[in-house]
Chains A and B, each alone.
Chain A
Amino acid sequence: MINIIEATNVTKRFPPKVTALQNVSIKIEPGEFIAIIGLSGAGKSTFLRTINGTLTPTEGKMRVLDKDLKAIPNKERIALRRKIGFIFQQFNLVKQISALDNVLTGRIGYNPHWRTLSGIYSQDDINLATYYLREVGLSDKIEQRVDQLSGGQQQRVAIARAVCQEPEILLADEPMASLDPKLSEIVLQLLQKFNRDRGITVLVNIHVLELARRYSRRIIAFKKGALVFDGPNDKLTNEEIENIYKIEDNDI
């Protein structure tokens, strides 16, 4: 496997009139850390969702982990998702259950139904989940209900859930957008750490350009659904930045 993700002429339309992705082609190698930038509505979230198969491209081909997402049956597509962690802007945790139970849902793809439905996970899974909770700095919050945690702590539970999947790819959709600057750094540092230590491929949507430049070598940019930049951080010129973030008159 040379490319862990390979999009070929991917277009995603939301009828009747939105084209969220337009003819996007990109190759991503295992172990990369990629920041995705672009204005709100540019198609960043849609792009991540076509990678984990929760959205299907209208046209084009999406190969992820050597599987053509469009060609494989639904069951296989769902099974593939355990290899792809997803971190959300709003954390998307189950607030009424404990941090540990949330992280354990990351193990669902590895377990038979009787375990996942009864909630009787193996000791190995429990050990793994608590290990990752410690890794993100929540060793004293393991059994706490999530709705008693702060926003920054909740996002770290969500990160633990994603890495507890032992994924090959980690997709993060503006994971720091609902956090203050200092907590944003912590989130990005954790993503960076899992990328470096485990070789997990990380794609992260970042709307703050300065953070994107600081944490990733390769940057890709979307504008109105089209991929308008793909290259190393130092090739991103001021002119290009201006183009990416320019709001045209007919947008308003």
Chain B
Amino acid sequence: MSTSQSMTMPKINIPTYKREKSRVVRLIILTLILAATYWSMSGVEFSVPNLIKGLPFMWDFIRRMYPPNWSILGSVFVQTVITIQLALAGTIIAAIISLPISFLAARNICGDGWLVRTMTFLFNADRSIDALILALFFVSAVGLGPFPGVLALAIHSIGMLGKLFAEAIEGVDKGPIEALESVGASKLEIIRWAILPQAIPYFISYTLFRFELNIRVAIVLGVVGAGGIGFLLVQYMRLFQYQSVTIVVGVILVLVMGIDGLSTRLRRAVL
């Protein structure tokens, strides 16, 4: 029935439609992507033959990781605690410093002037310097060990926490602020009673999130000499003790996933 109907349909004049992005533009975009891929890969000497040549070595590496050397579990545990301490100390120091100065970056506290813009710029600048680079700087200042690691973690975390804290402050409901103004409260009292009760759950949540990230960063900082489980990893690698490496890698996995899970649950509880 439908065919018989379409046969009797009158012929309609279909005009040409020119797409906004013509086929030429599409072709240019595709070419650019391919060119960028080729250019970057040639720069890093990406080579499929070498990758294939390396496969047996990788297999050999993995094979020698088995069986795991369980006997080192105790010392791995001790170093894990150091990594957690590193991350925790860095996070807490960063949170304590970020808390007061984030108010200077909040538009609803300090207006829309140069102060807020300067603080926002400083936070962004700080975030863009990787903790690893900061660690190298602090190692030259205070020597090797966990201490430069903590400093690097703390300083690097301030940028992100400061920015997030400021956003939490800016996001509070204005009603209570208005009410406290009407009561005759000072700025500090408004912060204490109208802003902090609203913002603190977010402060806690962001700090926990930063702690999750800092666990990962602390492991990497260990690799470059800050101690902890990362340091243990390079040591066993250098000594070719791959069966011990297995345990370290396993503990790292459990640690990262465990902290993530715990932190996610806590964050859900406070918000």
Please give the residue numbers on chain A whose beta carbons come within 8 Å of chain B beta carbons, in ascending order.
Answer: 52, 54, 78-82, 84-86, 88, 90-97, 101, 105-106, 108-109, 113, 116-117, 119, 158, 161, 165
CB pair A92–B197 under 8 Å, yes or no, is: no
Please give the distance in Å from B194's CB to the nearest CB on chain A: 6
B197 touches A94 (CB 8 A): yes
A119 to B193, CA, bound (A): 9
Q: Sample 19 A-B pairs with CB under 8 A, ordered by A number.
A: A54-B178, A54-B182, A88-B175, A93-B176, A94-B194, A95-B198, A96-B197, A96-B200, A96-B201, A97-B193, A97-B197, A105-B179, A105-B193, A108-B180, A108-B189, A109-B183, A113-B186, A116-B192, A119-B192
Give A109 to B192 CA distance when docked, in angstroms.
14
- CB of A78 within 8 A of CB of B197, answer no
The reply to whether A82 and B183 form a contact with Cβ atoms under 8 Å apart is yes
Given contacts A92-B179, A101-B193, A161-B179, 17 further A-B contacts (CB under 8 A): A54-B181, A79-B184, A80-B184, A88-B175, A91-B175, A92-B175, A92-B178, A93-B175, A96-B198, A96-B200, A96-B201, A97-B193, A108-B183, A108-B185, A113-B186, A116-B193, A158-B179
Interface size on B, as a range, is: 20 to 34
Once the chains bind, are A78 and B184 in contact (CB under 8 Å)?
yes
Verify B178–A88 contact, CB threshold 8 A. Answer: yes
Q: Is the CB of A94 within 8 A of B186?
A: no
CB distance from A75 to the nearest CB of B (A): 9
B189 contact from A96, A116, A161, Cβ within 8 A: A116
Provide the bound-state CA to CA distance between A155 and B178, in Å.
15
Contact A165 B183 (CB under 8 A): yes
Interface residues of B in 170-216 (CB under 8 A from A): 173, 175-176, 178-186, 188-189, 192-194, 197-198, 200-201
Nearest chain B CB to A73 CB, angstrom units: 14
Q: Is the CB of B201 within 8 A of A82?
A: no
Closest Cβ–Cβ distance, residue A92 to chain B (whole Å): 4
CB neighbours (8 Å) of B185 from chain A are: 78, 105, 108-109, 116
What's the least CB distance linking A170 to chain B, in Å?
Answer: 11
Closest to B188 in A: A117
Cα distance, A247 to B181, chains bound together (Å): 34
Closest to A104 in B: B193
Question: Closest residue of chain B to A171, judged by CB?
Answer: B182
Contact partner of A105 (CB less than 8 A), chosen from B178, B183, B188, B201, is B183
Q: In this complex, what residue of B is CB-closest to A90? A: B175
Cβ contact of B192, chosen from A79, A82, A91, A117, cutoff 8 A:
A117
Nearest chain-B residue to A86 (Cβ)? Answer: B182
**For residue B179, which residues in chain A have a CB less than 8 angstroms away from its CB?**
86, 88, 92-94, 105, 158, 161
Tell me, rounded to whole Å, the shortest Cβ–Cβ distance linking A103 to chain B. 11
Kindly provide the distance from the CB of B158 to the nearest chain A CB, expressed in whole angstroms. 25
Please name all residues of chain B whose beta carbon is closer than 8 Å to the beta carbon of A52 when the two chains form the complex. Answer: 182
B191 to chain A: closest residue by CB: A117
Cα separation A85 to B194 with both chains bound (whole Å): 17
Q: How far is the CA of A94 from the CA of B210 in the complex (A)?
A: 27
A78 touches B180 (CB 8 A): no
**Cα of A87 to Cα of B201 in the assembled complex, Å:** 27
Q: Please tell me if the beta carbons of B197 and A106 are within 8 angstroms of each other in the complex.
A: no
